[in-house]
Chains A and B, each alone.
Chain A
């Protein structure tokens, strides 16, 4: 299929979106390889695609957490079906009764019981609910023995004060590992009160320096506020000042680093702020940086 330049140019966006059929894409690519003008038009098309992609706006960092809290409060209390019955239904749905013998179910049930017993003992503040299970695969041998492998999900509730060591262990794990940024933000907010302990402070510093979500980093920054004078925290704040791509976080890092002794900044701090003045593009951050240097009687320039 030979295409005219006009047809090709109309297809360039769809080509970039990957929405052309195989044949259409072949025809456009073939035309582009032999037409310099259309190749230039393609580059222009790619240019505006990239520019518009960069103009994407993201919701404010804490909006997701707010939405989830509001939804939880607004949801009508549903009448929950008995967990045991639900588990039974799921197990029943998961098994094809036509080809699994009854002894297989017996084996599966005993296996679930065995696996359940391997869980750590549940103290008073911990609840382990019944498991839901699905059959992953079944195999039988000639002698009529059956092996069933189950995937089992077992909800477990740990309750206690936020500084309870068992609760804190899970909070620290979630701050580090949870894939859901809303959950990480809630976790880090709960850890703020325990920033006096080394483990919690390390977790907050780690979240501040490496969490991909700005909302979580802001919560970690709040948690470290009372410890901004300590050496490890200051070093972390200086690193954040130089590396974080969020202007709000850079601004707050400046505030934390300077609010305890604005007139007595050390040489490292002054040097970092002066460097920041050279490369900072955000007007507001520059303003705060300049103010901090002025208060410390330091120059905003590097000579």
Chain B
């Protein structure tokens, strides 16, 4: 098969996963011919549906950072965000065989995640218990204390204002309904389009737009004189 020499094929290996088992490190690599060509997502989903754990893990890793960010941003609690992460991906694992490609995997996953978050937001009344304390490397710290850490020259007035602004933002976010909070997070922080938000929440683009509109009115009233 001398012709193959003209294919210009090169192997690339990328490191995919590391495990430590009984003192032994296992490095899983993926070797690819040609330049960084991955299997498309549908193939990965089909492989995961057929029971391929590696494919499932690849699928998880394609989305888990954004799922965790959304859950943490909404719930402001590492434990709750971790619970949502676990529950969401365990549900995906359990029900993946039912996924029929009639919507994107992203939409399907976000439906699961947003439902879990909405349930928790409602059940635990997070918006009333919202704390300004967050976990840092040095332990729990007040968010206002860490605000405006831009390393510019010290400006106590600016630090005070940004701390107050932060508190006011937190208060407005805390006063939103669970649904408003969800729409706002997905649009303002995740950058999702209203159509995708509507799909994830099982509603129309128009309903998501109206919800966002209400939030922006509240924000304008609460923050307009501060900026």
Pairwise interchain contact B17-A247, C-beta atoms closer than 8 A:
no
Stretch in A29-37, A157-165, A292-300 touching the partner: A157-165
Residues of B within 8 A of A181 (CB): 65
- B76's partner among A17, A57, A76 (CB-CB below 8 A) is A57
Pairwise interchain contact B188-A57, C-beta atoms closer than 8 A:
no
Pairwise interchain contact A159-B25, C-beta atoms closer than 8 A:
yes
List residues 165-199 of chain B with CB under 8 A from any CB of chain A.
165-166, 169-170, 187-189, 193-194
Residues of A within 8 A of B27 (CB): 157-159, 167, 170-171, 174
Pairwise interchain contact A159-B60, C-beta atoms closer than 8 A:
no
Residues of A within 8 A of B29 (CB): 155-158, 170
Pairwise interchain contact B15-A183, C-beta atoms closer than 8 A:
yes
Residues of B within 8 A of A71 (CB): 60, 85-86, 89-90
Residues of A within 8 A of B103 (CB): none
Pairwise interchain contact A55-B154, C-beta atoms closer than 8 A:
no
B111 proximal to A (CB < 8 A): no
Residues of A within 8 A of B78 (CB): 59-60, 63
Pairwise interchain contact A10-B213, C-beta atoms closer than 8 A:
yes
Q: In the complex the two chains form, what is the Cα distance from A238 to B139 in whole Å? A: 23
Chain B interface size band reads: 35 or more
Residues of B within 8 A of A162 (CB): 20, 25
Given contacts A57-B76, A159-B27, contact A114 B1 (CB under 8 A): yes
Given contacts A90-B43, A190-B20, contact A57 B34 (CB under 8 A): no
Pairwise interchain contact B137-A249, C-beta atoms closer than 8 A:
yes
**Interface code B1-23, partner A: CB below 8 Å = 1, 0 otherwise?**
10110010101011111101001
B212 proximal to A (CB < 8 A): yes
Total chain A interface residues with beta-carbon distance under 8 A = 95
- What is the CB-to-nearest-CB distance from A30 to chain B, in angstroms, rounded to a whole number? 21
A111 proximal to B (CB < 8 A): yes
- What is the CB-to-nearest-CB distance from B176 to chain A, in angstroms, rounded to a whole number? 12
Pairwise interchain contact B23-A161, C-beta atoms closer than 8 A:
yes
A121 proximal to B (CB < 8 A): no
A110 proximal to B (CB < 8 A): yes
List residues 144-175 of chain A with CB under 8 A from any CB of chain B.
147, 149-162, 164, 167, 170-171, 173-174
- What is the CB-to-nearest-CB distance from A134 to chain B, in angstroms, rounded to a whole number? 7
Pairwise interchain contact B227-A154, C-beta atoms closer than 8 A:
no
Q: In the complex the two chains form, what is the Cα distance from A177 to B31 in whole Å? A: 15
- What is the CB-to-nearest-CB distance from B171 to chain A, in angstroms, rounded to a whole number? 11
Given contacts A44-B224, A59-B69, contact A170 B138 (CB under 8 A): no
List residues 62-87 of chain B with CB under 8 A from any CB of chain A.
64-65, 68-69, 72-73, 76, 78, 81-82, 85-86
Given contacts A60-B78, A136-B34, contact A281 B149 (CB under 8 A): yes
Given contacts A52-B169, A59-B68, A114-B4, contact A66 B32 (CB under 8 A): no
16 contacts between A and B (CB under 8 A): A14-B216, A51-B169, A51-B226, A57-B134, A78-B51, A81-B50, A111-B7, A115-B11, A132-B43, A134-B39, A162-B25, A171-B18, A171-B25, A247-B138, A282-B149, A284-B145
Given A70-B86, A154-B32, A281-B150, 11 more pairs with CB closer than 8 A: A13-B213, A17-B212, A51-B226, A80-B53, A90-B43, A134-B43, A154-B31, A170-B27, A246-B137, A247-B149, A249-B137
**A contact residues vs B (CB 8 Å cutoff):** 10, 13-14, 17, 19, 44-45, 47-53, 55-61, 63-64, 66-68, 70-72, 74-76, 78-81, 86, 89-90, 107, 110-111, 114-115, 118-119, 128, 132, 134, 136, 147, 149-162, 164, 167, 170-171, 173-174, 177-178, 180-183, 186-187, 190, 218, 245-249, 251-252, 278-284
**B contact residues vs A (CB 8 Å cutoff):** 1, 3-4, 7, 9, 11, 13-18, 20, 23-34, 37-40, 43, 46-47, 50-54, 56-57, 60-61, 64-65, 68-69, 72-73, 76, 78, 81-82, 85-86, 89-90, 93, 134-138, 141, 143, 145-154, 159, 165-166, 169-170, 187-189, 193-194, 209, 212-213, 216, 219-220, 223-224, 226-227
